[in-house]
Amino acid sequence: MSEFRQDLVSGGWIIMAPERAKRPAELLGKKHKRKPSSKLNCPFEDLERTGNWPPILTYPDIDNWKLAIIPNKFPALIHDPVCAIPLLKGPHLVSAGSGHHDLLVTRNHYKNFAHLTLDEAMQVFEAIQSRYRMLAKDKCLLYTSTFFNWGQSAGASLYHPHYQILTLPVIPPAVHHSLKGSERYYRKHRKCPHCVMIHWEEKEKKRVIDENQFAMSVSPFVPMQPFELKVFPKRHHPCFEKTPPGDLRAVVAVLQSALRRIEKHLHDPDLNFFIHTAPLKRQSSYGYYHWHIEVVPKIQIPGGFELSTGIDINVVDPDRVAKILKGK
């Protein structure tokens, strides 16, 4: 039987309809081998030669960098030291496209996040934390969105692994809904909804993909997309950039494991992962929030029903997802 499921945080509904699918593996198409692009034409092989220099931040140093945060040469937003003032244009509110659009580039052309060493992957997240703390000092900016696109259908125009860091003068709608939903649940139950989900998933054990002492990945009970995963720090942290090293390393390890499982068991699909965290300003007021990472493989294209109603139809039961990704 199909059933409606309501998300604990957003209050949004999905329809679980596993009987609409054939065997879940048939959603994945034929197994294909991903082909790396040539290093010869890659703009990230020599950042100085291609004009992606000087960097904002490098590790371990500027001469022997293993990762670099650089300004995007083709930014969606451009930094302006003066805060943009929203104005009316007819009935519409408009504002200048001010903000920051950065890229974090790792040195190795072939190793995406899943295949970095744990130390290298940890350096990526520590560098992103450092950039968040730098950006928080800009009085005009409210929210930083960090995401990884892997493959053309996920929005990656270049093969060389890189991570985008966009910082906005507004709080994005999806984040706003997540914040308000978390606040609403907390006011009613005096508990963080993400903590409640984590404790329930630990008790059920059906949808946990990987876990260690301080982090876990789960196939959520209310998944918007087939094979969607969430990665949580187990301890309650509202702000990604304030997460202590031990908890962050645990999250990084679980995220890498989840990505390797997706690659192995789902035929290496294109995917996105992104960080949801509290805004940069007034962070003490977001104590009810719990930062996390969402991983979304590109398995299913939304159709007319999804686009017209905002209700997703998911044809792969999350319990089954967990079994597939654990190789059972």
Task: Return the active site residues.
Answer: 162
Residue 143 structure tokens: 């929210």
Q: Is the bond preceding 24 in cis, omega lying within 30 degrees of 0?
A: no
What DSSP element (H or E) covers 247? helix 245-265
> Apex CA 218: angle with CA 268 and CA 306, to 5°?
70
Phi, psi of 265 (to 5 degrees): -95, -15
- Quote the CA–CA distance of 158 and 185 in Å, as a whole number: 41
Read off the amino acid at residue 218: V
Phi, psi of 4 (to 5 degrees): -80, 140
- Quote the CA–CA distance of 296 and 294 in Å, as a whole number: 7
- Quote the CA–CA distance of 7 and 225 in Å, as a whole number: 13
Residue 170 structure tokens: 């507004």
Phi, psi of 205 (to 5 degrees): 65, 5
**Residue position matching structure tokens 């995220």:** 255
Residue 241 structure tokens: 């950039």
Centre a 10 Å sphere on the Cβ of residue 61 and count the other Cβ atoms it contains: 8
